[in-house]
Amino acid sequence: MNRKPWITTLTSAVVVSLALAATPAVAGHAYAVGKRHDDQGVYAYARVLSAEPIVRYVTVNTPVRECWEETRYYTVENRPNTAGGTILGAVIGGVVGHQFGSGSGNDAATVAGTLIGAAVGNDVAKRRAYSAGNYGSTRYAEPVERCATNYQSHQEERIEGYRVVYQFQGQKYATRMPYDPGERIRVRVDVRPAA
Q: At what angle do helices 104-132 and 83-98 cross, to 10 degrees?
A: 150
Quickly state the pLDDT bin for 124 (edges 50, 70, 90). Answer: confident
Q: How far does Cα 86 stand from its chain's mean position?
A: 63
Q: How many CB atoms lie within 10 A of CB 185?
A: 20
pLDDT(102) > 80: no
> Which one has a higher pLDDT value, 64 or 115?
64
- Report H helices in 33-156: 83-98, 104-132
> Which one has a higher pLDDT value, 24 or 95?
95
Chain mean pLDDT for the chain: 75
pLDDT given at position 136: 66
- CA dihedral for 98, 101, 102, 108, sign (positive or negative): negative
For the stretch 24-51, pLDDT in tens is 444 433 333 444 444 567 889 999 999 9
pLDDT given at position 115: 78
Q: Which residues contact 124 (CB under 8 A, 6 or more apart)?
A: 85, 89
For the stretch 141-173, pLDDT in tens is 899 999 999 999 999 999 999 999 999 999 999
Torsion of the alpha carbons at 141, 143, 149 and 152, rounded to the nearest 10: 110
pLDDT given at position 191: 72
pTM: 0.37
pLDDT(137) > 50: yes
| Contact between 180 and 51 (Cβ < 8 Å) | yes
